[in-house]
Structure 1
Amino acid sequence: MLRRIHSLPGLIAAVVVSILALTGAVLAVNPALERAGSSIPPTGEVSVADLAQRVVAHFPGVERIVRKASGTIVVYYFDAEVPGAAVVDPRTGVQIAPFAPSAVTRWVTDLHRSFLMGDAGRAAAGTGAFAMLVLTVSGATMLATRLGGWRRLFGRVRGTGSQRLHAQFGRIAALALLLTALTGSYMSLTTFGIISDGMDAEPAFPSAVNGGAPMAVGDLGALRAIDVADLRELGFPYPGDLTDAYALTTAQGAGYIDPATGEMLSYLPNGFARRVYETIFMLHTGEGLWWLGLALGLAALTVPLMTATGVMIWWKRRQAMPRIKANARAATADTVILVGSEGNSTWGFAKALHDALTGAGHRVHTAPMNRLAGGYRNAERMLILTATYGDGAAPSSAKQFLARLQDVRAAQALPVAVLGFGDGRFPRFCQFAKDVEAALAAKGWPQLYPLHTIDRQSAQEFSRWSAEIGALIGVDLAIAHTPPPPRTVSLRLAERVDYGAEVQAPTAVLRFVLAQDRPAGFGRRLLGDRLPRFEAGDLVGILPPDNPVPRFYSLATSAHDGVLEICVRKHPGGLCSGFLHALKPGDRIDAFVRPNPEFRPAAGAAPVVLIGAGTGIGPLAGFIRRNGERRPMHLYFGARDPQSDFLYEAELTKWLADRRLTRLNTAFSRATDQAYVQDRIAADAEALRSLITHGAQIMVCGGRQMAQGLAKVLEEVLMPLGLDLVTLKAQGRYVEDVY
């Protein structure tokens, strides 16, 4: 719900909010410019009487004196019946410069306040301010929820490039945008009289002015008691009219002064509503607080950037989602299908199931697991199709499911069947589906069908499960769904470096370029066609011959390097690893890139501890290669033999020399000391604790068995600090890419 609230106003109001923000940013510069061009005496040095006397001496035809919020004094006068305006020095009354408001500024102001469309435009601007308020509050709430609470609002942001930029801009500018949106909404309400601006009443014009000879303006007692810093406007009597009076407006109120006696004839102090309005006007415009104006202007510049990244996020999400036709409303559906997916492949199976059930006459509601409702009025059953992300975690469209489940009342429970998707080669195969099944059972949801799992998107297994579900509900479901093959690019092997043959662990570093005739060496940007966008730590999916199921390998380069590099060990009977090891320079493969934004060095200059074994060094080498800022990076690397499978030895030596790598600690299981990477971590515990207290992030890549043993050692390292891996994971300071 929160995402829908955030997305809908953002898409509808994107143009309106961006115009408001950009014009606001332009106008925010004016207070600072005015302040820079003003002469402002210290408080108590110049009274309004002093100022008026000095102005009269230089501008005999003065009509009124205005003090702007920036402190600028503007005199409006007539010279031989010709009106004029000048900025003056309050200490002398001498003109500093003619006052001529910029036509551009007036146009931008009108565009900001009304879109050049009068009252209709003012209403649109007010609506835009309210939309900005909704976007700011909902966006901050979503980010806090995503990061694990408000206290972690400024923790590490994960996701795609557009998601990270959107979140970073948002949290940097959140307070300023909240202030701008609140004050802008208030001012719009005052424009239309919905909230009073405090100007409902004015001081009564005096019925009896003395009518005697006017005193010199500098001798008027009422003006001598007021400091120029409190002045808003002083209007002079009409020349020769002895019944007219001075009209004075100050920060405290307004009144009329007798020209002959200098007495205040009538006075109306500002009420609460007026004081509130003036404060909010100052906060919104920065007039009177030029530094705040600049800060708000800078914050406003993030709005178009957030609009652009927000549209990109929405578009990618929309494109990734399948088009589900005849999707019944949750309240009217007899069958509910909930989907947990990370790469959207599970949605394809869900759509096939949805279409088959709809074709059989059922009313089916299909939605992400994150949208689990508190109740489904007419539903008779629920089918949950979910993948597992990483090491047993929830995929992105199901991260809120277990928490939402706790809020569902027992009376709303439905017969449910859970279908898990995963890769049977991993120890925690379909773990999230198992967790969902257990949570449903704990809440007392009846089981429609026992948990079933599907290995590597098997179309045959899905067809069998669907037929069994159909038999339970009295429908013949013959579903043949084969996931569409991913869009691939053709790559040519440009170079390979082989290791490990002597220790029966053949490993190769393979470097690919686009399959084209143009020459492209390592480190050179390709001309013409480009590699897909990727960063070190992302995954490349490779389709082995005559097999539709891709195998994934961590990338050791980024697209900026002009080459796609992976590190592959040949496994006995391994279909894809055997295929890759058989490649010769010039041979071609079909591949695609899958982003892995969870496995990235955190932004900033804090140290990074890289721990890898075997081919796990691949993405870690990529992080070091891109460490142009020379932030501290400490690598712990484990292999078998330094003479046989010391992967990237030459590169690591070079990176140590140019300080992209701060420290290298190796462990070889078949060397004299027979050490493993866990042993090096335990021996280096004190140094690691020092790095962690300085904000270090730990990144682990390698086999699952190594990662499990490493986790035990790291828990012991962290114990004296009062920390554990769960805490570091929540902070984004412990990340794994294990297989």
Structure 2
Amino acid sequence: MLRKLHSLSALLAALFILTLAVTGAVLSIEPAMERAGAQVPAAGQLSVAELAGRIGRHYADVEQIERRPSGAIVVYYRQSDQSGADLVSPLTGLAIAPYQPSAFFRWVRQLHRSLLLDSPGRALAGITALVMLILSLSGTLMLARQQGGWRRLLSPVAGNGSKRLHARLSRAALPGLLLSALTGLYMSALTFGLIAEGTPAEPEWPTITANGQPAPAASLAALQTLDLTELKELVYPYPNEPTDVYSLHTTSGAGYINPYSGELLSYQRDDSRQGVQAFLTMLHTGEGLWWLGLLLGLGALVVPVLTVTGIQVWWQRRRARPKLANNCGAHVADTVILVGSEANSTWGFANTLHDALTAAGHRVHTAPMNQLASGYRRARQLLILTATYGDGDAPASGNRFLARLARINPRPDTRFAVLGFGDRQFPQFCRFANTVETALLAGGWSSLMPLETIDRQSTQTFSRWGQRLGQALGCELKLEHTPRRAPTTRLQLAERVDYGADTEAPTSVLRFKVPTGANHGWRRLIGQSGLPPFEAGDLVGIYPPGSAVPRLYSLASASADGQLEICVRKHEGGVCSGFLHALQPGGDIEAFIQPHPAFRPLAGQAPVVLIGAGTGIGPLAGFIRHNRQKRPVHLYWGGRDPKSDFLYQPELQHYLADRRLTQLNTAFSRVGERCYVQDRIMADGSQLRTLIERGAQILVCGGRDMANSVMVTLNQVMAPLGMDVQTLKAQGRYREDVY
């Protein structure tokens, strides 16, 4: 529902939003331009009387002095029966330039306020501001859900391509867009009388008696005590009108001044609503806060980009909708597949399962989880494939499933199985799938198979689950899921460093670059390497020749390094590892980037503890390489033999020397003490407890067995603190990249 509200609002109001955003960005420049051409004394530096005296030396017939919101001083005067206006220097009273409001900015302002349609246009502008507010709030709620809760709203954004760019830009522009939308709504409500306007100060008009010649403005006592920063305008008495007075408007009110005595005759302060109105107008226009105007303008300039990326995300999601063949009606199917998906990726697996069951002779009905029927007449199997969204929440197509389930009585001859999809990096891995299984069992449904989970859309795990499902159903079931091939970049091996031949664990550090011929001139001109954007800890997907299934490797470099670096061990029978180990400099690969923002050090200066074994050192070395602020970083790493497979040894020694690495702790299992990385962790328990108390974040990379052993050891280390790994995960301070 939230996504539909967000998308529909954006599509319906796109043209008006773009118009207001672009015109708002243009108008944001005006206060800064005015400020740039002005001389602005500091508070307390100059009184209004001193300013009037300096202006009086150069202008004989002054009619009005105005202090613009930018601080610029404008004098209006008459000369030879002609009216004029100059921008003047408050320090000298001399003209800086003639003052002429821009006709262009006046036209843009009318377009921004009323779309050049007068009252109907003002109403449309107000409605558009309301839509912008809805988009900002709904987008924030969606991003918070996607990030796994409000506490992680500012953590690195997951996803890739348009989706990631849309989320990152939205988050950056959100404060400005919210401020513009709220203040724009307020001003629109004032225009149509929905909110009572403030009452400007209207002091009583005084009656004075002429008493000789009026005193010079510079000698008026009321102006001598008034700081220039408090002035809005000073209107001089009309010539040859002995009973006329000075009209004074300040930032707090208005009054009149006797031109003979300099006495403040009457003064009235603005009411509180007038002050609020002036403040909110300043926040919306940036007049008086030119730097805020520029920030709001930058936020507005993001809107056209958000429009493009938003349409791309919407189209990609629409194009990814499932296209199921031979989808039986719910009332005749013997097997029902229900799918919970947020971005449609789970539907691909469901489609594969649907086709395999159909080929095995089953009549299959596949639908979103939210379409759970009150009863399936002939169904004997209910198979639920569901992802988990954010902090353990239901995905978009399953957010009404539990409520519907609670109203249904199960058939005694219908059995169920739940398959969860997720990413083990997140603390609530497959939590919604667990919730669904618990609810089904509590509701009296019979289990066909216990809950199983799939990490990062593993096709191998899916295939093994399919074999077990086939055995439970009494048929042969082969689930050969081929994900849609991602767009790739051709990369060329530039350098390789080989290790491990003596330990029967050949491992290589491979560094790739974009081939010279593919490095376009414009990229070379602006200093780019031609690599797609990525950070250390992200993943690169590589398609080995003849395979439609990519293999993922953790990145040890960032695109800013000018190369893509991975650390790969050769596995017996490994298709991709064998291909990469046989690759020589000059050879090519086809690769794509899969962002992995959940696995990287958090911002700040808190200590970082890096733990890995074998090729898991790759992204950890990348994190150390980019520790330019030299925050405390402690590395625990395990290998086999320091003479053969001490990966990154020269680099790590260099990082120790320049303090990007604080401490290096190694463990080798084939020589000397024959210890493992968890042994080093246990030995350093006291130091690690101190680091954890100081807010340390722990990042673990390597094999699943190693990661499990490390988790057990760390739980023992942290026991005296009353903490465990799960506590750190909940705080976002424990992240894994394991395989």
TM-score by structure 2 length? 0.73
Matched, 1:441 2:436: no
Tell whether the 8 Å contact from 2:638 to 2:667 is kept in structure 1 after alignment: yes
Deviation at 1:83, TM superposition (A): 0.1
Map 1:112-151; keep pairs closer than 5 Å. 112-114=112-114, 122-147=122-147, 149-150=149-150
**Corresponding residue number in structure 1 for 2:403:** 408
Query: For the Cα contact (< 8 Å) 1:340–1:398, is it kept in 2?
Result: no
Question: Shift of the alpha carbon at 1:132?
Answer: 3.9
Distance 1:305 1:688, change over 3 A: farther
Letter in 1 for 2:600: R
How many residues get paired?
702
Q: Which residue of 2 aligns with 1:26?
A: 29
Deviations 1:323-373 (A, max 9, x none): 44899xxxx999997544588543224457899999xxx999955x7xx59
Equivalent-residue separation in structure 2 for 1:724 and 1:611 (angstroms): 16
In the alignment, the residues of structure 2 paired with residue 365 and residue 659 of structure 1 have an alpha-carbon distance, to the nearest angstrom, of 57
Instruction: Report what 2:707 is aligned to.
Output: 707
**Given residue 44 of structure 2, which amino acid in structure 1 is its aligned partner?**
P
Q: 1:376 to 1:221 in 2, by over 3 A?
A: farther
Q: 1:138 to 1:483 in 2, by over 3 A?
A: closer
Q: Determine if contact 2:143/2:153 at 8 Å carries over to the other structure.
A: yes
Aligned to 1:216: 214
1:695 is displaced (CA, Å) by: 4.5
Q: 1:320 and 1:618, CA in 2 relative to 1: closer, same or farther beyond 3 A?
A: farther
How does 1:503-522 map onto structure 2 within 5 Å?
503=503, 505-509=504-508, 511=510, 513=512
Q: Paired residue for 2:305, among 282, 304, 308?
A: 308
Residue 460 of structure 2 aligns with an amino acid whose one-letter code is R
One-letter amino acid matched to 1:420: L
Cα deviations across residues 419-474 of structure 1 (Å, max 9, x unaligned)? 52779xx9x9x9668624423325527469656869638689879979999x9xxx
Partner of 2:684: 684
Q: CA deviation at 1:496?
A: 5.3
Query: In the alignment, is the contact (CA less than 8 A) between 1:678 and 1:713 conserved in 2?
Result: yes
Show CA shifts across 1:269-310 (max 9, x none).
64444333223223334445x4xx414522541443475367
Uncovered stretches (5+) of structure 2, i.e. residues with no partner: none
Distance 1:81 1:704, change over 3 A: same
> 1-side partners of 2:532 and 2:42: how far apart?
59
How far is the alpha carbon of 1:702 from its aligned partner? 1.1
Distance (whole Å) between structure 2 residues aligned to residue 614 and residue 78 of structure 1: 85
Residues 63 and 78 in structure 1, CA contact (< 8 A), matched pair in contact too: yes
Q: Which whole-Å CA distance do the structure 1 matches of 2:439 and 2:667 have between them?
A: 45
CA distance in 1, matches of 2:530, 2:93: 67
Partner SS state of residue 636, structure 1: strand
Structure 1 residue 681, shift from structure 2 partner: 1.6
Q: Does the aligned pair in 1 maintain the 2:35–2:72 contact within 8 Å? A: no
Instruction: Kindly report which structure 2 residues correspond to 1:97-496, keeping only aligned pairs within 5 A, or say none.
Output: 98-102=98-102, 106=106, 109-110=109-110, 112-114=112-114, 122-147=122-147, 149-150=149-150, 153-155=153-155, 157-160=157-160, 174-198=174-198, 216=214, 227=226, 231-236=231-236, 238-240=238-240, 249-251=249-251, 253=253, 270-288=270-288, 290=289, 293-305=290-302, 308=305, 311-312=308-309, 315-316=312-313, 318-319=315-316, 322-324=319-321, 339-340=339-340, 345-350=345-350, 385-386=384-385, 394=388, 399-401=393-395, 408=403, 411-413=406-408, 417-420=416-419, 435-441=434-440, 444=443, 446=445, 456=460, 483-486=483-486
Q: Secondary structure at the match of 1:301?
A: helix
Which residue number corresponds to residue 82 of structure 2? 82
User: Are residues 377 and 461 of structure 1, via their aligned partners in 2, closer, same or farther at CA, if it must alter by over 3 Å?
Assistant: closer
- 1:32 Cα deviation after fit: 4.4
Offset at 1:701? Answer: 0.9
Say if 1:190 and 1:512 are closer, same or farther in 2 by CA, change over 3 A: same
Map 1:706-725 → 2, pairs under 5 A: 706-720=706-720, 723-725=723-725
The offset of 1:707, in angstroms, is 0.7
Measure, in 1, the Cα distance between the counterparts of 2:131 and 2:33: 25
Tell me the amino acid that sits aligned with residue 443 of structure 2.
G
Distance 1:196 1:160, change over 3 A: same
Secondary structure of 1:643's partner?
A: helix
Q: Which amino acid aligns with 2:26?
A: T
| Contact residue 700 and residue 738 of structure 1 kept, 8 A | yes
Shift of residue 18 of structure 1?
3.4
1:84 shift after superposition = 1.4
- Residue 15 (str. 1) matches residue 12 (str. 2): no
Within 2, Cα distance between the matches of 1:591 and 1:346?
23
Change in Cα spacing, 1:564 to 1:75, as seen in structure 2 (3 Å) is closer
Q: Output one character per residue of 1:167-195: Cα deviation in whole Å (capped at 9) or x when no partner.
A: 66655665454333322321233234443
Corresponding residue for residue 667 of structure 1:
667
- Tell me, yes or no, if the aligned pair for 1:147 and 1:153 is still in contact at 8 Å: yes
Indicate if the aligned counterparts of 2:158 and 2:596 stay in contact, CA closer than 8 A: no
Query: Relative to 1, partners in 2 of residues 1:626 and 1:149: Cα closer, same or farther, differing over 3 Å?
Result: closer
Aligned partners of 1:663 and 1:195: how far apart in 2?
A: 63
Q: Aligned partners of 2:628 and 2:193: how far apart in 1? A: 58
Q: Contact 2:170/2:306 (CA < 8 Å) preserved in 1? A: no
Is the 1:535–1:555 contact (alpha carbons within 8 Å) kept by the matching residues of 2? yes
Specify whether residues 516 and 85 from structure 1 end up closer, same or farther in structure 2 by C-alpha distance, changes over 3 A only.
Answer: closer
Indicate the residue corresponding to 2:643 in structure 1: 643
CA distance change for structure 1 residues 38 and 506 in 2, over 3 Å: closer, same or farther? closer
Give 1:142 shift: 3.9
Deviations 1:602-623 (A, max 9, x none): 3455543221112222332343
The code of the aligned residue for 1:677 comes to V
* Alpha-carbon distance change, 124 to 349 in structure 1, aligned in 2, over 3 angstroms: same
Work out the CA distance in 2 between the residues paired with 1:489 and 1:55: 67
Which amino acid in 1 is paired with 2:78? F
Corresponding position of 2:61: 61
Q: What SS does the corresponding residue of 1:83 show, helix, strand or coil? A: strand
Alpha-carbon displacement from aligned partner over 1:370-427 (angstroms, at most 9, x marks no partner): xx59x98999999765366xxxxx366974459957973765458695552779xx9x
Distance 1:333 1:53, change over 3 A: farther
Q: Kindly provide the amino acid, as one letter, of the partner of residue 305 in structure 2.
A: A
* Same amino acid, percent of matched pairs: 45
**AA matched with 2:667:** A
Give a deviation string over 1:53-88, Cα, whole Å, max 9, x none: 886786453333434345555332222210012456
Looking at structure 1, the residues matched to 365 and 556 of structure 2 have their Cα atoms a distance apart, in angstroms, of: 44
Query: Could you tell me how far apart the structure 1 residues matched to 2:389 and 2:689 are?
Result: 32
Pairing 1:466-615 to 2, within 5 Å after superposition: 483-486=483-486, 497-503=497-503, 505-509=504-508, 511=510, 513=512, 534-542=534-542, 548-559=548-559, 564-571=564-571, 574=574, 577=577, 592-604=592-604, 606-615=606-615
Offset of 1:737 from its aligned partner?
0.9
Tell me what 1:474 maps to: none
Structure 1 residues 629 and 242, CA gap change in structure 2 (3 angstroms): closer
Contact 1:53–1:217 (8 Å) recurs in 2? no
SS state of the match for residue 456, structure 1?
helix
Q: Distance in 1 between matches of 2:400 and 2:704?
A: 31
Deviation at 1:676, TM superposition (A): 0.9
731 and 4 in structure 1: CA distance in 2 versus 1, 3 angstrom threshold? farther
Residues 128 and 692 (structure 1 numbering): CA distance in 2 closer, same or farther, change over 3 Å? farther
* CA distance in 1: counterparts of 2:143 and 2:309, whole angstroms: 17
- Encode CA deviations 1:97-131: one digit per residue, 9 max, x unaligned: 65444556545545554566655654454444434
